[in-house]
Structure 1
Amino acid sequence: MNARISNPHVELEERYCAHNYAPLPVVLSRGEGVWLWDDHGRRYLDMMSAYSAVSFGHAHPRLVAALAGQARRLAVTSRAFYSDRLGLFLQRLCEMTAMPRALPMNSGAEAVETAIKAARKWGYRRRGVPDGQARIVVCRGNFAGRTTTIVGFSSEAQYRDGFGPFDGGFDSVPFGDAEALEAAITPHTVAFLVEPIQGEGGIVTPPDGYLRRCREICSRHGVLMICDEVQTGLGRTGKLLACDHEGIRPDGLVLGKALGGGLLPVSAFLASNEVMEVFAPGDHGSTFGGNALSAAVGYEALGLLQDGELFANTREQGHRLAEGLRRIQHPALREIRGRGLMLGMELDPRFIRARTFCERLMTCGVLSKETHETVVRLAPPLVIGSEETDFALQAIRDVFQGLPHHHA
């Protein structure tokens, strides 16, 4: 496509921005609900939600009102002082998740880094692990962010290439294998960090009962179970948290993305009093984490979830989307995975690569993005309705109908 050459906005990004992304050739200028418009006025259905950050849709009126109203009053002072917004936000967050305390940050990666620091210090102070020897078990295929500590335990070669040395302290096991977790635990193991569904890994879902089994193993060995729900949390799978589907409560919880209502970055690490008590003033912090503007938006975003209507809609539309996808009969479609409105289509690259599929979807008025070259993610805002879901399904069917039934 020649948009990179002919569009002045693309040319400016290509000229001045580091080439650390390969965007689809569309220039977006406006969003409302589940719809996006490009700079030529063409409308697209958003089937990605900015990796779940726009779970409430674009420019949700209640969230925009909260943002604007708070911006006129007070935005950022740092946590050198109290504000009249943060306590209310954290109270709502802790009460809804049944976690005693929260430490507010900005990005999901920052919240994961906070979880790692908390788990290590808890291991040294509470478990008696020798200083500098704490270990954390992670899963292959994980994605928890882009910081050097986090990419150090990634199993994706590109995420690590050229960015070492890494600090170590992580043991990797297969995702979905509870026995492998138990085998990896040593006297120096302080935590198990896991995504209930691996998002960037390809919308990979573990076997039923996996999280319950991991919870039992961690409890028996005195190891913290930390669930990274940056993508899966806050209704994305049809419940407040993905771990709610198995009725378990982790020792630590990482939230982000949707917590900012699609308007600004808001994240948090939540944990028990015992874990949070390892932090003293000066141990950890963030200039912007917990600012009044973020707290006001986060408070309102959580309020949108309290009546449960979005959870019900997510389950209904997720079922409608998944069933519609499963009715597509084409050899290029290998598998449909996921839960709620976090779905992935695994494609056979001998027919079409996921990037090409997304480019063709774009011409049909649907925007999404590939992951791991063979998976198209389908994760629209949770406010999507049946008409929009059917629009997406028809676009997907149209792309498949344009493919041959025999691979090259």
Structure 2
Amino acid sequence: MSEHSTTTEHDTTEHGTTTGHGTAGTRWTERYRGAVMNTFGDPQRVLVRGEGAYVWDADGNRYLDLLGGIAVNALGHAHPALVAAVADQLGTLGHVSNFFTTPAQVMLAERLLGLVSPGGAPAGSRVFLANSGTEANEAALKLTRRHGGPARPRVLALEGAFHGRTMGALSLTHKAAYREPFEPLPAGVEFLPFGDLAALEAALGDDVAALFLEPVQGEAGVRPLPNGYLAAARRLTREAGALLVLDEVQSGMGRTGSWMAHHALDGGAVVPDVVTLAKGLGGGMPIGAVVALGEQAATLLSPGQHGTTFGGNPVAAAAALAVIDTIEREGLLAHVAETGAALRAALVRVDGVAEVRGSGLLLAVQLDAPVAKGAAAALLEAGFIVNPVREDALRLAPPLVLTAEQADSFVQALPAALAAARQAVSP
């Protein structure tokens, strides 16, 4: 292991010691295979603790976490503000049914309206709090059905889209490998070529209930919408009477250097009808949100038409408020923009890197050969966690608190990892 590996007395657990690579981790993996459904394959490592942008595995090895739980751990691991907020709230009131509310729930809804619509949310705007991104998109899809009714049975999404894995959200997800085992899915969703305005204009009509877009397609390899597309989509959906739904589950909450990724697209002038959030919103606590803007938001879903047992519970809401407060207090939006720009500039100079896509700390390192899996494996051995989001691309979504020095350590390690990956596939 590299300098990112360390062993201390805190890295030893009652279940095994750090006496060699893979010992305690191997035992936990064997137990995992015997108890946990095989929906993810074997875990790459068994992680036991984290601090800031680092995590440690069961054998005491340290890793720079450049994936952040897939854009979830906005404040890194064990951030004092998040720990204190969760502990204080749980020690006061942990859960109530949706027959009641709590100050944390109300305050979070108010804050989200302001973050999504910084110029002031339109009258009637409302928030629904859920537990995850797929649940937020599921609720948004139900909302669009209420908007369209039988006269508007069609919903549009883009090729490459990922909106979740529950049945409704899955119908909006493009990848065949995710969809086909569970077909037939809820009907009416059509996929348009990514970034093709002519195709969008041709598809929109008075029978379309909504258009779902990700400002940045994370699972497709960190693909931002082309310049002008979002503004045109707003104009076309308004003309057709369809809702514009923006999925900011991965790209929102400061990930790209703005509170929402769409704030930095096309002059930041686009006001959508619905925005969905999750991942970084809770900083590691499970929470999702549907932010609906405008008068219709207050009436589209009425009592009994949707619900959730845990959504908006005071602990998750307190965590989200702590994330928002910390991002503001520590100036993390500017930090993310600055750190991300420097990281991009350094990565494009690495031999074997063809392009770097994205902004802030949601980036894809496009490689000049299909060696992403091998490079990710070599980086993991060297003490860095990244995601081979495509055969030829690595996704980076580290904690927003990533330092310039930590980012540079990854840049320095990348050439050797790419060389090892290329050598592994050489004839």
Q: TM-score range by the shorter chain?
A: over 0.9
Structure 1 Cα separation of the partners of residues 305 and 249 of structure 2:
23
In structure 1, the partner of 2:167 is 148
Aligned with 1:305: secondary structure? helix
Deviation of 1:186 after TM superposition, in Å, equals 2.1
Aligned letter for 2:279?
K
| Correspondence 1:285-296 to 2 at 5 A | 285-296=307-318
Deviation of 1:348 after TM superposition, in Å, equals 4.5
CA-to-aligned-CA distance 1:6-60 (integer Å, 9 cap, x gap): 7111111111111111355321110111011111221110000111110111111
Aligned letter for 1:116?
L
**1:91 maps onto 2:113 in alignment:** no
Count residues with an aligned counterpart.
Answer: 396
Q: Of residues 49, 53, 61 in structure 1, which corresponds to 2:72?
A: 53
Stretch deviating more after TM superposition (225-234 or 32-41): 32-41
In structure 2, the partner of 1:28 is 47
C-alpha distance 307-221 of structure 1, shift in aligned 2 (>3 A): farther
C-alpha distance 195-85 of structure 1, shift in aligned 2 (>3 A): same
In structure 2, the partner of 1:384 is 402
Structure 2 Cα separation of the partners of residues 178 and 407 of structure 1:
41
Structure 1 Cα separation of the partners of residues 57 and 396 of structure 2:
20
| Correspondence 1:263-274 to 2 at 5 A | 264-272=285-293, 273-274=295-296
Q: Of residues 372, 376, 389 in structure 2, which corresponds to 1:358?
A: 376
C-alpha distance 5-46 of structure 1, shift in aligned 2 (>3 A): closer
Q: Of residues 319, 322, 327 in structure 1, which corresponds to 2:344?
A: 322
| Correspondence 1:329-340 to 2 at 5 A | 329-330=351-352, 333-340=353-360
Deviation of 1:326 after TM superposition, in Å, equals 0.4
CA-to-aligned-CA distance 1:200-255 (integer Å, 9 cap, x gap): 11111222222122112222222211100000001111100000012122110000
Deviation of 1:82 after TM superposition, in Å, equals 2.1
Aligned with 2:182: secondary structure? coil
Structure 2 Cα separation of the partners of residues 151 and 82 of structure 1:
30
Stretch deviating more after TM superposition (67-76 or 89-98): 89-98
Deviation of 1:84 after TM superposition, in Å, equals 2.6
Structure 2 Cα separation of the partners of residues 154 and 119 of structure 1:
16
Aligned with 1:306: secondary structure? helix
Aligned with 1:20: secondary structure? coil
Aligned with 2:110: secondary structure? helix
In structure 2, the partner of 1:116 is 141
**1:104 maps onto 2:126 in alignment:** no
Over 6 Å off, 4+ runs: none
CA-to-aligned-CA distance 1:297-320 (integer Å, 9 cap, x gap): 111111123357111111111111
8 Å contact kept, 2:221–2:390: yes
CA-to-aligned-CA distance 1:278-314 (integer Å, 9 cap, x gap): 2111110000011111111111111123357111111
Stretch deviating more after TM superposition (134-143 or 82-91): 82-91
C-alpha distance 288-403 of structure 1, shift in aligned 2 (>3 A): closer
**1:78 maps onto 2:97 in alignment:** yes
Structure 1 Cα separation of the partners of residues 129 and 291 of structure 2:
9
**1:241 maps onto 2:297 in alignment:** no
8 Å contact kept, 2:85–2:319: yes
Q: Which runs of 5+ in 1 are unaligned?
A: none
C-alpha distance 22-104 of structure 1, shift in aligned 2 (>3 A): same
8 Å contact kept, 1:115–1:254: yes
Deviation of 1:404 after TM superposition, in Å, equals 4.9
8 Å contact kept, 1:3–1:10: no
In structure 1, the partner of 2:63 is 44
Aligned letter for 1:338?
G
Structure 1 Cα separation of the partners of residues 192 and 23 of structure 2:
41
Aligned letter for 1:95?
G
In structure 2, the partner of 1:374 is 392
In structure 1, the partner of 2:199 is 180
TM-score, structure 2 normalization? 0.88
In structure 2, the partner of 1:343 is 363
Deviation of 1:5 after TM superposition, in Å, equals 10
8 Å contact kept, 1:78–1:289: no
In structure 2, the partner of 1:223 is 242
Aligned with 1:13: secondary structure? helix
Aligned with 1:73: secondary structure? coil
Aligned with 1:79: secondary structure? coil
CA-to-aligned-CA distance 1:181-209 (integer Å, 9 cap, x gap): 11111221011100001001111122222
C-alpha distance 155-282 of structure 1, shift in aligned 2 (>3 A): same
8 Å contact kept, 1:215–1:250: yes
Deviation of 1:3 after TM superposition, in Å, equals 4.6
Deviation of 1:4 after TM superposition, in Å, equals 9.6
In structure 2, the partner of 1:66 is 85
C-alpha distance 219-307 of structure 1, shift in aligned 2 (>3 A): farther
Aligned with 1:29: secondary structure? strand
Structure 1 Cα separation of the partners of residues 421 and 288 of structure 2:
41
In structure 1, the partner of 2:416 is 398
Stretch deviating more after TM superposition (155-164 or 28-37): 155-164
CA-to-aligned-CA distance 1:243-268 (integer Å, 9 cap, x gap): 00121221100000111122x11111
Q: Which runs of 5+ in 2 are unaligned?
A: 1-20
Structure 1 Cα separation of the partners of residues 229 and 168 of structure 2:
26
Aligned letter for 1:73?
T
TM-score, structure 1 normalization? 0.92
Structure 1 Cα separation of the partners of residues 183 and 420 of structure 2:
44
In structure 1, the partner of 2:283 is 261
In structure 1, the partner of 2:303 is 281
